[in-house]
Amino acid sequence: MYSPTVVRYLLGALLMLVPACARAEDGYDLWLRYRPVTDSTRLAEYRALFSRIILPGESATLRVAREELARGLRGLLGSAVTIESTSGSGAIIAGTPATSPYIGRMGLSRELDEAGPEGFVIRRILVRASSGTLASSEMQYLVVAANSDVGVLYGVFHLLRQLENLRPIVQLPVVEHPRVGLRLLNHWDNLDRSVERGYAGLSLWDWASLPDSIPQRYRDYARANASIGINGTVLTNVNANARALTPDHLRKVAALANVFRPYGIKVYLTARFNAPMELGVLTTADPLDSAVRAWWKAKADEIYRLIPDFGGFLVKANSEGQPGPQDYKRTHADGANMLAEAVAPHGGIVMWRAFVYSSEVPVDRIKQAYDEFTPLDGTFLPNVLVQVKNGPLDFQPREPFHPLFGAMPKTPLMMEFQVTKEYLGQDSHLAYLAPLFKEVLDADTWRAGRGSTVAKVVDGSLHGLSRTGIAGVANIGTDRDWTGSQFNQANWYAYGRLAWNPALSAADIADEWIRMTWSRDPAVVTTIRSIMMGSREAVVNYMTPLGLVHIMAEGHHYGPGPWHSRGRPDWTSTYYHRADSTGIGFDRSVTGSNAIEQYAPALRPSFARPDSTDESVLLWFHHVGWDTRMRSGRTLWNELVHRYHGGVDSVRAMQRAWSSLRGTVDNERHAAVDSMLAIQEREARWWRDATLLYFQTFSNRPFPPGYEAPAHPLSFYMNLRCPVDRNRPRCPDIQ
C-alpha cells in the first residue's frame, strides 16, 4: 500500500499531466509535431538507418541541428536515438567538410558546389568493408552535407520532412538550394505589441521584458522559420516608429538577434524616414543634407556594434502619410541610396517599398507605383532592393500581377506577399494562399518573350541579378496556435516553401503540410487537400468575383461595403467598382485609364478588350454591360449572382468535408476548425447578400430563379455598424 503522501503526489503528478495532454493538440507544435511513424515497413527501414546520429561540431547552429535531429527522430521512430562521434553502420552523418571528419572524404565536392552557401546534399552511402571479419558486411549511411552550418540545419529539416511524409529511403537523395536569397517575414508589429493587420493575438516581441527575458517561444518561432528556410525577419511595422532606433530599444533587438542567429535568421528593422527629426536631433530629414547622412551613418554604426550581422532596413516612404524623400523634392532613389550608403560598409541592405500613392486624387491609383519607379531603374545603389506587392492595388483576393515585375531590369525587385489575410477573411476564413502566391509567381510578364515569369524576375534569372528577395507579411502572434486559426499555419508554411523554391506546386505543399500537421492517412490527406485547394477561389467568389476589388466596408476590411463612397475617393469602394445602370467595372483599357499600357506590349492585347480578357480579372480591366454574355452563356448580372452563390456553396461543401473527418483527427483541433467554418459560412452569406442587393440597385435585374433569397433587405446591411479591424473582429449582428 502507498502512503497517503505518495498517493497525493501521484495524483498531483497525474493531474499535471492532464493539462499537458489537453495542450498537446492546440496547434502550438505547428508542422513540427514528429508524431510516431506507424507504417511498419517504413518504420523498419527508418530504424535501420536513423538510430545513430554523427553530427560533430560545437557551433550554435550545429548544436540546434543536432538537437532537432534527435528530437525529430525520437518522435518519429518512437525509439532511442543515440548521438555518437564514431562511424558504424546505420547512422546519419551530418556536417560540413570543415566540421565533420567524414564529410570531406565522401567525394561530394561536385554536389556541394551545386548546393552553394545555404543548400545541402543528402546522399545514401554504402560502404563495403574490405578486410578482416567484416569482409562481407555492408555499412550504410545517410549523409547530410553542406558548405555551411546553416546548410546542415536546412538539410536536417528537409530530411525530417521527408520522413514525416513517409518517403522511402531510396527517394531521399537530393541536392537542394534556395532559389531566392532573402526569404523574409515582415512583421507589422508596433512597439506597444499591437499588430497592424494581425489577427493572432499580440506581437510576439515582448519589448517590455526584453532583453532579459527570452521565452522558449522565440526559439520555437526561429525553429519553425528555419524549418522552411526563412532567413530573415523584419521585427517592426512599416508604418514605423522612430523609437525602435533608440539605444535602449536596439539592445532589445540585439537580444532577439542572438536568439535567432543559430537558426540562420537575421533581424531587420523598419526605418522611419524622419527619425533624425523625431528623435529630436535634426530639423530636416532631407536625404541630400550632409548632417542627415551623417546621422544615419552613425546610427548604422551604432546598430552594427550591437548586432554585427544586422540585416538592414525596410522602408515605407511617401505612402499613406509616411514621411519620405519627396517631402524634400527628392526621389525614392535619393532616399534609398542614403540609407544604403549608411549600411553598405557593414554588408547591410535596404528594402524600399514600391507601395506608394499620393494623397491627391489620382486618375487611377494603381498606376502610380509604376509611374514613379520605372524612371528610377538603374539609379539605386547595389545594396538596394525595391519591394513590390504582388498586385498593383493592395493584397486583394485576386489582382493581376504588378506591372513593375519585369519592367525594371536593372533593379532587384523583391516580391511582397501578405500572409496575414487582411482581405481574405482575417483569422477565421479558411483560405489557403499558396494558389494565390503561385498564380502571381507563374504569371508571364512577357518582358523577355514567352516564359518571362514573375518568379524569374524575383529569383533574378530573367535579368541576371544576383541579389534577390521575397517578403511575406507575417500572420504570427501570441495565440497558442500562432496564427489565429489552425489553417492559417498553412499559409506561413507555404510562403516559406515557395520562397525557397517558387517552382513547388501548391498541392504538393498542401500535402506535405497536411501530413505533418494533421494526419498521414491518405484519405484524410485527400479530403483536407481538396478543402484547401478550393478555398481561395471560394473567397474570391463570395467576396470579389470576376475581377472586382476593394469593395470592403468603411473602417474595417472583413465585411462588405460596396456602397462606401465617402472621403478620399481612392479609399472608397465606388471608385473601384464603378457600377452604374449600364454595367460594372473599372475601364483600364485605352478608352479608360489605359493602365494596360504598363504591361509588356505582347501582353496588352490579352487585356485590351472584354472578350480577350480572362474573366477572373474582367472587371479589373473593363466596365462591362449587365447583359453582356459570359463564357458560361449567362449574362454578366446572372454570372455575378451565380459566382456569389457558388462561393457560399463552396464553404458549405468545405464544412461537409470537414465534418466527415470527425474522429480521424484530434477532437480539439477538429472542433476549432469547425467553429471557424461556421463563422466563414455566415460571413460568406453576408458578403453575398449585401453585395448582390447593392449591385442590383444598378443592374435593375431580378435574381434568376433557383438561388437562395437574401436574409435581410439591403438597408439592414448598409446600417450595420461593425467593430473595426483589430484582433479577432466580428460583426455581432451577422447571424
List active site positions. Answer: 320, 394, 422
Find the shortest distance in angstroms from Cβ 725 to ligand GCW: 8
Is residue 417 a contact residue for ligand GCW (CB under 6 A)? no
Measured from the CB atom, the residue of 89 and 239 that comes closer to ligand GCW is: 239
Is residue 394 a contact residue for ligand GCW (CB under 6 A)? yes
Is residue 240 a contact residue for ligand GCW (CB under 6 A)? no
Is residue 272 a contact residue for ligand GCW (CB under 6 A)? no
Structural contact between residues 96 and 55, judged by C-beta atoms closer than 8 angstroms: no
Distances (CA, A) of 151 to 69, 220, 332, 498, 682: 14, 19, 36, 18, 46
Measured from the CB atom, the residue of 184 and 596 that comes closer to ligand GCW is: 184
Find the shortest distance in angstroms from Cβ 540 to ligand GCW: 18
Find the shortest distance in angstroms from Cβ 355 to ligand GCW: 5
For the chain, the residue count is 735
Find the shortest distance in angstroms from Cβ 616 to ligand GCW: 21
Measured from the CB atom, the residue of 202 and 259 that comes closer to ligand GCW is: 202
Measured from the CB atom, the residue of 355 and 686 that comes closer to ligand GCW is: 355
Grid cell in block for residue 281: 536631433
What x/- string results for residues 15 through 54 when contact with ligand GCW is judged by CB under 6 A?
----------------------------------------
Is residue 238 a contact residue for ligand GCW (CB under 6 A)? yes
Contact with ligand GCW (CB under 6 A): which of 46, 154, 157, 188? 188
Q: How many CB atoms lie within 10 A of CB 231?
A: 26
Is residue 196 a contact residue for ligand GCW (CB under 6 A)? yes
Structural contact between residues 315 and 309, judged by C-beta atoms closer than 8 angstroms: no
Q: Which amino acid is at 305?
A: R
Q: How many CB atoms lie within 10 A of CB 3?
A: 8
Residue 90, Ramachandran bin (φ over 0: left; ψ between -120 and 50: alpha; else beta): left
Is residue 239 a contact residue for ligand GCW (CB under 6 A)? yes
Find the shortest distance in angstroms from Cβ 570 to ligand GCW: 12
Contact with ligand GCW (CB under 6 A): which of 316, 332, 429, 685? 316
552 strand-pairing partners: 560
Is residue 355 a contact residue for ligand GCW (CB under 6 A)? yes
Distances (CA, A) of 109 to 155, 159, 205: 16, 20, 41
Is residue 246 a contact residue for ligand GCW (CB under 6 A)? no
The full 3-state SS of 361-407, as one line of letters, equals CCCCHHHHHHHHHHHHCCCCCCCEEEEEECCCCCCCCCCCCCCCCCC
- Contacts with ligand GCW by CB under 6 A: the residue count is 11
Grid cell in block for residue 15: 493531474
Q: Where are the beta strands (DSSP E) in 580-691?
A: 583-584, 624-625
Find the shortest distance in angstroms from Cβ 319 to ligand GCW: 6
Q: How far apart are CA 604 and CA 592, in angstroms?
A: 14
Q: Which amino acid is at 337?
A: N
Measured from the CB atom, the residue of 395 and 437 that comes closer to ligand GCW is: 395
Find the shortest distance in angstroms from Cβ 539 to ligand GCW: 17
Measured from the CB atom, the residue of 239 and 606 that comes closer to ligand GCW is: 239
Structural contact between residues 234 and 269, judged by C-beta atoms closer than 8 angstroms: yes
**Start-to-end C-alpha separation, the chain:** 58
Is residue 365 a contact residue for ligand GCW (CB under 6 A)? no
Closest-by-Cβ residue to ligand GCW is 394
Q: How far apart are CA 309 and CA 173, in angstroms?
A: 33
Measured from the CB atom, the residue of 34 and 313 that comes closer to ligand GCW is: 313
Binding residues vs ligand GCW (CB under 6 A): 188, 196-197, 238-239, 316, 320, 355, 394-395, 422
